[in-house]
Amino acid sequence: MTELSSDERALADGRNGPAAAMAIRIVAETARILGAERLVPVTSAHVDGCLYHGDSGVHFVERLVELEGRVAVPTTLNVGALDLIHPERVHADAHATQMARRMMVAYEALGCAPTWTCAPYQVGHRPGRGEDVAWGESNAVAFCNSVLGARTNRNGDFLDISAALTGRAPYYGLHVAENRLATVVVETHALSARLKAEDAFYPVLGAWLGAEVAGAVAVFDGLPADMPEDRLKALGAGAASTGAVGLFHVAGVTPEAPTLEAALGGRVAELRIELTPEMVRRVRDSLSTAPDGPVDALAVGSPHYSVAEFNTLLDRLAGRRMSRPFYACTNRQVLKDLEDSGTLASIEAAGIEIITDTCIVVTPILPAGGGVLMTNSAKFAQYTPSNTDYEVVFGSLGDVVESGVAGRVVRDEAAWN
């Protein structure tokens, strides 16, 4: 039985209006199903339920608007099903386009910030360590818990907006301090420094983690102390895609793991795994569903690309132009930063098409007819075959750039060997 506070009971009785009353009932019933004894106040929300999957989702959020709902905490929005800045790049049918737009408009009417990004942490939504929040979107949840040290579970569609309207979430899982301690140690000392310096290593490491230890909290030992955020982002996205990982630690890097012992809470690990080069290589190869050969399209930016990643992409291009369609998915803030810095012109001159507000695996953007897509994203690699008509080849950013120029898969295997 979930115990509601007097304030929460007042919400259910309609103190803040009918939308908040409906929302607190949804949150409370979800808490009961999950076995949570109470609700926890949250300071922010990130809503994943704004992506159009069918008309019922549109009707739900429009009903909240009709009931005069307003978010009770700062709330950002995940990707929608349209690129509102470049609408011509989406090839959805008229009904899907109309309903997706209605959905996006309705979420804005509730007071949500129109960020339309799977990486809200790149647009200023960065709760502090120990803050309880209610986030949706798998990679954002992993980043929020692991890299920022805030506390959230993986909130499903419509629970996320209900938490935003009420400022409450079920108190269970990763909101509970003890559940955040690592029980698994992953040793990486057998891997070369060269491999750990490779950008593609981190999405692969995440894909391995999700497939191997989903449901447990792991701490990595032996990774570089100077890991940039984009590599932590890629690690979390890979893990969240293959195994629903909501939290990982990196000893000496992430906020709840200043040391290996701190990540474990002083306890003995239940499991220790020593990664070998063969294990990592095997996971890398498993991310491809097509053999090396011609490529028909290329994509980066899942999670959404950062300014730093765009700068690295331009450095890799060195003035060359893509011979195949190349898509880079990002958010509006990054697009504005690229425009302001003059970088956007160089990106477009290289034949790179920027997608905002959405991405190529949730919206029909890729050229019709199918083929082979190459990417450096474990998340794209996981979802492309099931969500599009394309098979996928995974590689490093350098591989993707060289393959995009050549029109066929080109690999540098040195680090992996």
User: Distance (Å, rounded) from C-alpha 222 to C-alpha 189?
Assistant: 6
Domains 6-172 and 288-406 share a fold: yes
Tens digit of pLDDT for each residue in 141-199? 999 999 999 999 999 999 999 999 999 999 999 999 999 999 999 999 999 999 999 99
Give the pLDDT confidence score for residue 417 in this predicted structure: 86
CATH of domain 288-406: 3.30.499.10
Q: Pick from 400, 325, 408, 333: which is nearest to 370 by CA?
A: 325
User: Distance (Å, rounded) from C-alpha 327 to C-alpha 351?
Assistant: 9
Tens digit of pLDDT for each residue in 12-22? 999 999 999 99
Q: Angle at CA 324, nearest 5°, toward 321 and 330? A: 80
Q: Angle at CA 234, nearest 5°, toward 91 and 390? A: 35
Does 334 have pLDDT greater than 90?
A: yes
Contact, 4 vs 12, CB < 8 A? yes
3-class state of residue 354 by DSSP:
strand
| CATH 1.10.3430 assigned to 6-172 | no
In what helix (H) or strand (E) does residue 322 lie, and over which residues does it extend?
A: none
Cα dist. 122→106, 109, 294, 332, 333 in Å?
A: 24, 23, 34, 10, 8
Among 39-43, 213-217, 267-271, where is mean pLDDT lowest? 213-217
Domain boundaries, the chain: 6-172, 181-285, 288-406
Tens digit of pLDDT for each residue in 175-189? 999 999 999 999 999
Contact, 243 vs 211, CB < 8 A? yes
Mean pLDDT of the chain: 97
In sequence order, the 6+-apart residues with CB closer than 8 A to the CB of 174 are: 145, 151, 152, 153, 180, 246, 247
Q: pLDDT tier at 214 (50, 70, 90 boundaries)? A: confident
| Count of residues in the chain | 417
User: Distance (Å, rounded) from C-alpha 286 to C-alpha 339?
Assistant: 37
User: Distance (Å, rounded) from C-alpha 407 to C-alpha 401?
Assistant: 10
Give the pLDDT confidence score for residue 29 in this predicted structure: 97
Query: How is 243-269 classified by DSSP, letter by letter?
Result: H----EEETTTSTT-SSHHHHHTTPPP
pTM of the full predicted structure?
A: 0.97
Does 1 have pLDDT greater than 90?
A: no
Tens digit of pLDDT for each residue in 237-293? 999 999 989 999 999 999 999 999 999 999 999 999 999 999 999 999 999 999 999
Average confidence (pLDDT) over 386-410? 98
Tens digit of pLDDT for each residue in 223-247? 999 999 999 999 999 999 999 899 9
User: Distance (Å, rounded) from C-alpha 143 to C-alpha 123?
Assistant: 14
Average confidence (pLDDT) over 127-134? 98
Does 316 have pLDDT greater than 90?
A: yes
Give the pLDDT confidence score for residue 363 in this predicted structure: 96
Q: Angle at CA 414, nearest 5°, toward 412 and 415? A: 105
User: Distance (Å, rounded) from C-alpha 403 to C-alpha 411?
Assistant: 8
Average confidence (pLDDT) over 113-117? 98
Does 368 have pLDDT greater than 90?
A: yes
Per DSSP, what are the bridge partners of residue 371? 390
